[in-house]
Amino acid sequence: MIKEIQLRVNLIEERKENILLYKASKQLEVDKKEITAVKVLRKSIDARKKETIFNYKVAVYINEALPKEPDYIFEYKDVSKAKEIHIIGFGPAGMYAALRCIELGYKPVVLERGKNVQDRRRDLKAINQDHFVNEDSNYCFGEGGAGTYSDGKLYTRSLKRGDVRRIFENLVFHGATEQILVDAHPHIGTNKLPKIIQNIRENILKFGGEIHFETKVTDFVIKNNKLQAIQLQNGQEMTVNAVILATGHSARDIYELLHKKQISIKAKSFAMGVRVEHPQEIIDQIQYNCSGKRDELLPAAAYSLVNQVNNRGVYSFCMCPGGFIVPAATANGEVVVNGMSPSRRNNKYANSGIVVELDINQDFKKYEKFGELKGLEFQKDLEKIAFFAGGRTQTAPAQRLVDFVDGTLSSDLNDTSYQPGLKSAPLHSLLPRIIGSRLRKGFPEFGKKMHGYFTNEANIVGVESRTSSPVNIPRKENLEHTEIEGLFPCGEGGGYAGGIVSAAMDGERCAEAAISKL
């Protein structure tokens, strides 16, 4: 017999050995000797009250053994001589499109503009230390995409877009900790993701797929509205059967190419703002209602904030407990910031994007001349402002939080995790009013929800501009582009995902759609 039950455990009980077995026995009124195993299905922490509670959902096996076979089995087959499907981009969408192709007996040919995870590290070092951005290999481009050197946050609301559990199980299959199958807000960590991504690459190659790094697609050959071939930067032309376009939300050259060739794209709404960084200890004290350091059994505290300011959402995005801020520019002459955490989330700072919803139909009147690229051009301008305000390097403009709201230039700044460094700048006047004024009203409101959050011990750092794509590449019900036969826009770059898991699920769906079409 197997029974699923909910168990609540406090901090003192959490330290006790076999506490779940004891509680399950008591709740079900079953002798402990009859319980074969207690399998944790879900774990979360509730710190809203004075007593911190661990909530468990468990499966209790009564006189029954745990199943030996896993719930998900991934069977890959040799596709070295199979029909080809080309995949542009090797982020989560591209990786999982390639894996799904192999499962279904088709050969993925992956074209990635950036480098593999090992070689990419040198280019990340160049951004952080030398302030030089390799436009094809950086925090956004390269093996694994923008997710590789990120927190590896796996939380998603896209539960209807595919099998979330299947993606989690596949990550475990490729080396991720089984803890991600349990945690309510699972993450892998920037220190562990590269090895998992390397394992995925090796598996694709092992079963006959191809992956070409430092291979940039520069043009599409189209005849009678059908994609015939793709052209590469080195002059090579590849004939194609179907192309999955999984280039990510920062591949601006792809949007510009489609626009130039009059292939349908659409401007879409997105969000922009800043990244705020607090000492992690402050966030812990607020979230866990403690006066000193958090209990060792508790993870670095996270938060989620949202408010309406002048009819627009102002909210936290990509919150990184125990993390650090990184430079996410994809070209020289711009400053973009993002955040990430190691697996242990043990850095002394917490950071989060705090962004404002922008409406593509109302907020970009000055950019109408750019047509469907108006949001992208607005994005570019804000990143250039940040570049000049930071001193024309990857040093980022920053301000103490209360100073920003008060409209006062900070005489000095708090220490930071951002390696290229910060420069005091009047972000209160540099940010466009549609963003800056809402942030200045939103931060004090957040301080009312989290007492101690609104403090000058926090810095805000500009700009957080790559939350999602400013462009949507439209597709039909069968996931094919509305005009171009054989082209399947995919993942965040197409405007169909918002993170690692949703992008991976969309990659699988696009692979299935492309194969179905063939």
In the numeric block, the tokens 């970009």 are attached to 364
pLDDT the model gives residue 147: 81
Average pLDDT over residues 105-113: 98
Tens digits of residue pLDDT in 65-90: 998 888 899 999 999 999 999 999 99
Residues 138 and 172 in one domain: yes
Residues 351 and 326 in one domain: yes
- 463 cis-preceded (ω within 30 degrees of 0): yes
Residues 149 and 240 in one domain: yes
- Rounded to an integer, what distance in angstroms lies between the CA atom of residue 365 and that of residue 363? 6
Please report whether residue 182 resides in a domain.
yes
How far is C-alpha 107 from the chain's CA centre? 27
Asked if 239 and 229 touch (Cβ cutoff 8 Å), the reply is yes
Tens digits of residue pLDDT in 242-297: 999 999 999 999 999 999 999 999 999 999 999 999 999 999 999 999 988 999 99
The chain-wide mean pLDDT, for the chain, equals 96
153 pLDDT more than 90: no
Please report whether residue 67 resides in a domain.
no
Q: Residue 220 forms beta bridges with which residues?
A: 230
pLDDT the model gives residue 68: 85
Please report whether residue 244 resides in a domain.
yes
Tens digits of residue pLDDT in 283-330: 999 999 998 899 999 999 999 999 999 999 999 999 999 999 999 999
Please report whether residue 445 resides in a domain.
yes
H helix or E strand, kind and range, residue 243: strand 243-245
Residues 36 and 134 in one domain: no
Tens digits of residue pLDDT in 400-432: 999 999 999 999 999 999 999 999 999 999 999
Token representation of residue 374: 């108006």
Residues 184 and 249 in one domain: yes
332 pLDDT more than 70: yes
Token representation of residue 432: 């466009």
Residues 248 and 294 in one domain: no
pLDDT the model gives residue 70: 83
In the numeric block, the tokens 């024309």 are attached to 392
Please report whether residue 222 resides in a domain.
yes
pLDDT the model gives residue 231: 98
514 pLDDT more than 90: yes
Average pLDDT over residues 481-501: 96
Nearest to 277 by CA among 414, 400, 462, 459: 459
Q: Residue 239 forms beta bridges with which residues?
A: 229
Q: How many CA atoms lie within 13 A of 202 on its CB side?
A: 10
Average pLDDT over residues 121-133: 97
Residues 338 and 279 in one domain: yes
Asked if 382 and 329 touch (Cβ cutoff 8 Å), the reply is no
> How many domains does one find in the chain?
3
CATH number assigned to the domain comprising residue 102:
3.50.50.60
Residues 388 and 432 in one domain: yes
Q: Which H, E and C letters describe 332-349, residue by residue?
A: CCCCCEEEECCCCCCCCE
386 pLDDT more than 80: yes
Tens digits of residue pLDDT in 21-55: 999 999 999 999 999 999 999 999 998 888 899 99
Residues 185 and 101 in one domain: yes
Question: pTM of the prediction?
Answer: 0.95
Asked if 467 and 435 touch (Cβ cutoff 8 Å), the reply is no
Tens digits of residue pLDDT in 424-473: 999 999 999 999 999 999 999 999 999 999 999 999 999 999 999 999 99
Please report whether residue 78 resides in a domain.
no
159 pLDDT more than 70: no
Nearest to 230 by CA among 113, 351, 365, 67: 113
Residues 491 and 504 in one domain: yes
Asked if 11 and 295 touch (Cβ cutoff 8 Å), the reply is yes
Q: 190: pLDDT confidence band, cut at 50, 70 and 90? A: confident
Please report whether residue 173 resides in a domain.
yes
CATH number assigned to the domain comprising residue 51:
3.30.70.2700
Task: Please give the share of the chain, as a percent, with pLDDT higher than 90.
Answer: 92
pLDDT the model gives residue 157: 66
Tell me which of 84 and 343 has the higher pLDDT. 84
Please report whether residue 129 resides in a domain.
yes
SS3 of residue 233 by DSSP: coil
Residues 288 and 429 in one domain: yes
For the sheet with 53-62, list strands across it: 2-10, 53-62, 35-46
Residues 338 and 422 in one domain: yes
Expressed as residue numbers, the domain containing 325 is 268-359+377-464
